Structure formats: C-alpha cells, structure tokens
Amino acid sequence: MGNTKNLSPLGLLSLATTGAALVSSKGSAGRLPALGWSSWNEYGCDINETVFLDTAHLLIDLGLKDLGYEYINIDDCWSDKEKRRDPVTNEIVVDAEKFPNGIDTLADRLHNLGLKIGIYSNAGTSTCGGFEASLGNEETDAATFAKWGIDYLKYDNCAVPEEWYDDWKYVPENWFGGGANENQDDGEPVNSKTDQPAPSGYDWATSNSAERFRRMRDALAAQEREVQFSLDWDMLEVGNGDLTLEESRSHFALWAALKSPLVIGTRLVDIKPEILAILANEELVAFNQDPTHPAEYWSGESVRGTHVFVLNTLEVAAKKEVAFGEVPGLDARRRYVVHDMWTGKDLGYFKGSFEIDVKAHDTAALRINEVGKCGGKHH
C-alpha cells in the first residue's frame, strides 16, 4: 500500500486530471517528478542567458542542486518574434539579443555544471506570448531541441487553429475559475466546434487535442536524446506575490505529497531564508521523490460518509484490498455498506475489509458508511 493516505478527495481530483509527464523508454527521466526551476512566474519575457546562468549557480550555491533540483527551464519568449523560422532550415530562430551565444552553448554550460536544461513550445500556431510554436513542425522542433542538448520540453496549449478544434467542449468547466475552453490570455473561446459536452462514453484519446500533443510526444520519442515531455502541474508560486508563509507551505507540501513536479518559480537572487527553507525542505522533497510504488490508496470524509479511492498503477488488472482498520475514521470491527460511486450502486455489507478488482490504470471510487447510516442522497 502506498504511504500517502488521508488526503482530501479534492487533491485526488487534481491528481487524476492533470499530472502528465512522458516516461521515456530511453532512460530514467519522468519516472519521478521533475525537480527544477522555471523562468516564467518571476521573469516572464524578461529573460536572457545571464538569468539562467546566474540561477544555475545559485541553485548550486544554495544547496538546491544537492537536494535533486536539476532542470533550469527556459519558458516562453526565447525565440525571435519577427524572424520566426529560418527560411532554409525551418528551425525556430533564437532571440540573438537574449541568447547571444545560442541556446546550445547555454545547454553546454548548464550540463558542465551538472544540471539539465528545459525549453518551451506550444501545440498551436504560436505560443501564449505570441512567439513561434510547433504545431505542424513537431519533427523539426524536436530534432532542433535534441541537437541543442535540451532535456525537458514544456508544451503549452495556446493559439489552436480552427481546423484543429475538438468536436466537443471539454466539461466539467469552471474548475479553475473560468471556462475550460477559454484562452487564459484573451478570454476568447478556443478549441471546440460547439458548446456541447461530449456524449457519454466519448473517448478523448480520439480528439484533436490529444492528437496535437501525441505528435510532439512521438517526435521527441524519435530523437536519440532523452527529452522529458511536460504537460500541466507547471511551476510553483512559492515565494511569489501575496502568498503568506503558511500558504506557501501548503502549496509546497501538497504539491510534494501529490507527486507533482517541483519546479521553483521564484527569483533565487536575494531569496528570503524562510522561502528557501520551504523549497529546501529535505523531508518533503524526499517524499515527493520517493521511489517506492506510487500511492494508490486515498481517503477522506465528506458529508455523505468516508470515501476511499483505489488507483491501479499497474499495466494489468489487480485485486485490491481496502482494510477498514487502515482507513482513518473506519473501525476494523464494524460492519459497513460499501458503495460504488461510479455505478451508484451498493456493493454489499462487509466487515474487516473489502476486496475489489481494479482494471489497469483504473480507479475505484468507493463510499463507505456504517450500516443504517447511508449518506447518499438516493437512500
């Protein structure tokens, strides 16, 4: 059994719907959450070679590299916004003022410091900042990134052309305070032909969105170099804006516990000691990086009862046991009604424990109530 327990169902919701990193067949990248630093949250487009080299040295001097932080990630705005692509090679043209020695030279320098380098592109016609992006040029760009020595690609989702719109609107919406279908920057609806949600049973793996991201996944996988492909659970805000110290701790602790990449998003120059102490907490980073089998059991209370979620991370179906004595709030000696939240049906009365067959990569969603105290609205 995994050692992450008793997190709220809300945490699971985020885990199940967002985290995604390509586990490369070549080596070890992506098998554990990435640890690193990204320029976007604090520098935005005001980046240059010096920012990344200075940050790399600070990552080392502050002891963060020793804790495992290794990626120095260039976010949006690294290319030449006017020239876009080289007319001969079709490669994206690097901004020569920001990176006078080229990104390949920066990659060499970071590698010489024992670090890795990330870059940014987008599955549309331009990046969220309006720079050149990779849709339709996936093979060229993956080859260019590999040639430069890039180790990590963050792949964004702006400027989707109409011919790539999905047939259906992605629902549920408003999870993040706005329509899931709206471009964060300009509020324009993007990405679907209709406002209609997909019919039940629709396979999103057949959508245009899935295909746009698969194309870059395949292009990266075709390179000899191992490049980690990063979608969602982006970078941390710890140390930024108006977050209180307590909010920064909550942010870091839960991202660590839910096995998100921990990509620092704050300025390391003059970092406050109390912020560094959060990012450099050895025990939390170690928990995030724990190599044992990922957490598979989650539980939490709601007004309807005690909920248990059981994830099967294996490639094959598995029988999973929920031992009531191990679930906070339940008692090994009591009899319970186990209810399947997917089918809406009760599975029967059980004492001590409950066993369920979970298909490969599926998650059982259960509600467990004391006999006679059903929390469901249907009872």
Ligand X SMILES: *[C@@H]1O[C@H](CO)[C@@H](O)[C@H](O)[C@H]1NC(C)=O
CB atoms < 10 A from the CB of 50, how many? 9
Residue 112 makes contact with ligand X by CB under 6 A? no
Residue 125 makes contact with ligand X by CB under 6 A? no
User: Smallest Cα–Cα separation from 151: which of 32, 232, 71?
Assistant: 71
Residue 94 makes contact with ligand X by CB under 6 A? no
Residue 244 makes contact with ligand X by CB under 6 A? no
Instruction: Tell me how far, at minimum, the Cβ of 48 lies from ligand X, in Å.
Output: 4
Span interacting with ligand X, options 1-9, 44-52, 130-138, 159-167, rule CB under 6 A: 44-52
Span interacting with ligand X, options 42-50, 144-152, 255-263, 343-351, rule CB under 6 A: 42-50
In the block, which residue shows the tokens 């406050």? 272
Give the dihedral of Cα atoms 274, 275, 278, 280; nearest 10 deg: -100
In the complex with ligand X, the residue whose CB is nearer, 13 or 269, is 269
Work out the angle at residue 41's Cα, subtended by the Cα atoms of residues 40 and 44, and round it to the nearest 5 degrees: 45
In the complex with ligand X, the residue whose CB is nearer, 45 or 341, is 45
Q: How far apart are CA 333 and CA 352, in angstroms?
A: 6
User: Smallest Cα–Cα separation from 233: which of 267, 256, 210, 211?
Assistant: 256
Span interacting with ligand X, options 40-48, 140-148, 306-314, 354-362, rule CB under 6 A: 40-48
Is the C-alpha dihedral spanning 202, 204, 206, 209 positive or negative?
Answer: positive
Instruction: Tell me how far, at minimum, the Cβ of 241 lies from ligand X, in Å.
Output: 18
CB atoms < 10 A from the CB of 316, how many? 8
Residue 200 makes contact with ligand X by CB under 6 A? no
In the complex with ligand X, the residue whose CB is nearer, 29 or 72, is 72
Span interacting with ligand X, options 41-49, 222-230, 304-312, 363-371, rule CB under 6 A: 41-49
In the complex with ligand X, the residue whose CB is nearer, 101 or 206, is 101
How many helices, marked H, and strands, marked E, lie in the chain? 9, 14
Q: Which residue is nearest to ligand X (CB)?
A: 46
In the complex with ligand X, the residue whose CB is nearer, 45 or 356, is 45
Instruction: Tell me how far, at minimum, the Cβ of 37 lies from ligand X, in Å.
Output: 14
CB atoms < 10 A from the CB of 296, how many? 18
Residue 57 makes contact with ligand X by CB under 6 A? no
In the complex with ligand X, the residue whose CB is nearer, 52 or 145, is 52
Span interacting with ligand X, options 46-54, 71-79, 122-130, 321-329, rule CB under 6 A: 46-54
Furthest CA-CA distance within the chain? 74
User: Smallest Cα–Cα separation from 76: which of 53, 105, 47?
Assistant: 47
Residue 268 makes contact with ligand X by CB under 6 A? no
List 8, 18, 48, 140, residue binding ligand X (CB under 6 A): 48
Residue 292 makes contact with ligand X by CB under 6 A? no
Residue 64 makes contact with ligand X by CB under 6 A? no
Instruction: Tell me how far, at minimum, the Cβ of 269 lies from ligand X, in Å.
Output: 9
- Is-contact 94 145, C-beta < 8 A? no
- Is-contact 193 161, C-beta < 8 A? no
Residue 324 makes contact with ligand X by CB under 6 A? no
Residue 43 makes contact with ligand X by CB under 6 A? yes
User: Smallest Cα–Cα separation from 256: which of 39, 33, 18?
Assistant: 33
Q: How far apart are CA 228 and CA 217, in angstroms?
A: 9
List 51, 59, 117, 123, residue binding ligand X (CB under 6 A): 51
Q: How far apart are CA 362 and CA 315, in angstroms?
A: 10
Residue 37 makes contact with ligand X by CB under 6 A? no
List 46, 66, 274, 321, residue binding ligand X (CB under 6 A): 46
List 25, 50, 112, 292, residue binding ligand X (CB under 6 A): 50
Instruction: Tell me how far, at minimum, the Cβ of 280 lies from ligand X, in Å.
Output: 23
User: Smallest Cα–Cα separation from 304: which of 361, 368, 353?
Assistant: 368
Q: Which stretches of 191-284 are assigned E, i.e. beta strand?
A: 228-231, 262-264
Work out the angle at residue 263's Cα, subtended by the Cα atoms of residues 262 and 268, and round it to the nearest 5 degrees: 120
Residues of this chain that bind ligand X (CB under 6 A): 43, 46, 48, 50-51
